[in-house]
């Protein structure tokens, strides 16, 4: 590589926008909470699906979906960058919609859920964290649009 090519490479690298950090400050707390929810939802659903799936297949499947959603949101928060931020926003909005739909469904038609899901009763079994977490995350992701310089 010639010195001219090296200068061009360095100049191009400097022109790239800095990846927005999503896990600074309160973002780190979100990652921690989402990590805990991944472990809780996935372990609960794996156990329930493996041992008693016939009892409440919808509830156990929804808990597994919640665990996957939590895992993806955790990954995007740690990854950072504008694309990850947008993906996290979409997933958090979908998570919030899921919590509200399933939460309402469990109150209106409890017989559809012989056993609770992570999102049942708006996450009451998880101290309402499933409904508060996406709201907090959406607020944080909206606030974190500004690039942070290293």
**Residue 59: how many CB atoms within 10 A of its CB?**
22
pLDDT in tens, 50-72: 999 999 999 999 999 999 999 99
pLDDT in tens, 26-54: 789 999 999 999 999 999 999 999 999 99
Q: Which residue has the higher pLDDT, 117 or 96?
A: 96
What is the mean pLDDT of the segment spanning 7-26? Answer: 60
Angle between helices 26-52 and 129-143 (to 10 degrees): 140
**Rounded Cα–Cα distance for residues 27 and 143 (Å):** 10
Per-residue confidence at 6, pLDDT binned at 50, 70, 90?
A: low
**Rounded Cα–Cα distance for residues 46 and 58 (Å):** 13
**What confidence score (pLDDT) does residue 96 get?**
97
Does the pLDDT of residue 73 top 80, yes or no? yes
Per-residue confidence at 5, pLDDT binned at 50, 70, 90?
A: low
Does the pLDDT of residue 145 top 60, yes or no? yes
Does the pLDDT of residue 13 top 60, yes or no? no
Alpha carbon dihedral 9, 76, 74, 138, in 10-degree steps, equals 130
Q: Find the angle CA(36)-CA(40)-CA(45) to the nearest 5 degrees.
A: 150
Give the global pTM. Answer: 0.79
């Amino acid at each position: 590589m010639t010195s001219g090519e090296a200068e061009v490479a360095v100049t191009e690298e400097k022109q790239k926008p800095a990846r927005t950090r999503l896990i600074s400050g309160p973002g780190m707390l979100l990652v921690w909470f989402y990590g805990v929810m991944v472990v809780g939802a996935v372990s609960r659903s794996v156990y329930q699906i493996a041992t008693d799936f016939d009892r409440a297949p919808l509830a156990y499947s929804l808990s597994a979906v919640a665990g996957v959603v939590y895992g993806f949101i955790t990954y995007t928060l740690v990854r950072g960058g504008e694309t990850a931020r947008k993906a996290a926003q979409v997933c958090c909005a979908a998570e919030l919609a899921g919590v509200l739909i399933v939460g309402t469904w469990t109150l209106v038609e409890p017989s559809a859920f012989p056993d609770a899901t992570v999102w049942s009763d708006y996450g009451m079994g998880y101290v309402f964290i499933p409904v508060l977490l996406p709201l907090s995350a959406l607020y944080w992701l909206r606030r974190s649009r500004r690039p942070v310089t290293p």
